[in-house]
């Protein structure tokens, strides 16, 4: 049995057996074969599209998974580097603090030694001056004024007795009510004692 194809059917690709004839008439069995072949081809195309979608989805999932893993790896590495940096900074600060503390202790020790040395030098210089001070006429004249003021002798009518000694001068003034005496050696000794206690 034969059927005649319409003109619009000429564009349908021929998938079945190609006969060697120039007629536009095909057998029904050939048309069935063609339709089955076309259905099979469409089914295969659907499967290909389905597999392609599955493959694309799997590739996307794989890319996302790898991206997550990469981000996690980068985050872990960054945290590790940051922790190491913080630890290095803490070690550096601790080391710097120790060095600074040692330097400060050394400076304090040096300043203390300089202070003690200066104190000793000043004490020796002042002690030497104090020894000369006990014989100083300026001090003696000042003490004479103090003695007159002590007895309210503004006119300086009272006589002051002056006694020279090896280490100083003793000054004495008296009136009818009292006697006041000052020894430059004792004043110098008291000043020296105060100086040594500083």
pLDDT score at 121: 86
pLDDT score at 90: 94
pLDDT score at 119: 83
Question: How many helices (H) does the chain have, and how many strands (E)?
Answer: 3, 5
End position of a domain, from candidates 49, 64, 79? 64
* Residue 117 maps to a domain: no
Q: Which domain holds residue 178?
A: 135-197
pLDDT score at 15: 47
Using CB atoms within 10 Å of the CB of residue 153, give its burial: 0 to 12 exposed, 13 to 18 middle, 19+ buried.
middle
* Residue 103 maps to a domain: no
Return d(Cα 76, Cα 113) in angstroms, integer.
55
* Residue 128 maps to a domain: no
End position of a domain, from candidates 64, 87, 115? 64
* Residue 41 maps to a domain: yes
* Residue 109 maps to a domain: no
* Residue 85 maps to a domain: no
pLDDT score at 77: 95
pLDDT score at 179: 82
pTM above 0.75, yes or no: no
Q: What is the pLDDT along the chain (198 residues), one digit of tens a residue?
A: 444 555 555 554 554 455 555 566 667 787 788 888 889 999 899 999 999 999 999 999 999 999 999 999 999 999 999 999 999 999 999 999 999 999 999 999 999 999 988 888 887 887 777 777 767 778 778 878 887 887 777 777 778 888 888 777 888 888 777 888 888 788 778 777 777 776
* Residue 34 maps to a domain: yes
String of DSSP letters for 130-167: HHHHTT-HHHHHHHHHHHHHHTT-TT--S-EEEEE-SS
End position of a domain, from candidates 64, 99, 118? 64
Q: Are 5 and 28 in contact (CB under 8 A)?
A: no
Return d(Cα 134, Cα 170) in angstroms, integer.
10
What domain count does the chain have?
2
3-class SS of residue 177 = coil
* Residue 49 maps to a domain: yes
């Amino acid at each position: 049995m034969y059927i005649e194809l319409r003109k619009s059917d000429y564009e349908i690709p021929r998938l079945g057996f190609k006969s060697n004839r120039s007629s536009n008439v095909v057998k029904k069995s050939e048309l069935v074969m063609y339709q089955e072949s076309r259905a099979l081809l469409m089914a295969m195309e659907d499967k290909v599209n389905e597999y392609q979608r599955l493959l694309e989805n799997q590739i996307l999932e794989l890319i996302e998974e790898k991206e997550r893993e990469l981000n996690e790896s980068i985050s872990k590495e960054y945290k590790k580097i940051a922790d190491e940096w913080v630890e290095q900074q803490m070690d550096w600060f601790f080391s710097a603090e120790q060095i600074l503390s040692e330097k400060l202790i050394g400076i304090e020790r040096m300043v203390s030694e300089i202070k003690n040395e200066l104190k000793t030098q000043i004490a020796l210089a002042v002690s030497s001056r104090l020894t000369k001070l006990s014989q100083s006429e300026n001090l003696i004249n000042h003490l004479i004024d103090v003695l007159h003021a002590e007895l309210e002798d503004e006119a300086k009518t009272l006589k002051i007795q002056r006694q020279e000694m090896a280490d100083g001068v003793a000054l004495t003034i008296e009136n009818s009510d009292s006697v006041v005496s000052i020894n430059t050696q004792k004043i110098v000794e008291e000043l020296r004692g105060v100086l040594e206690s500083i």
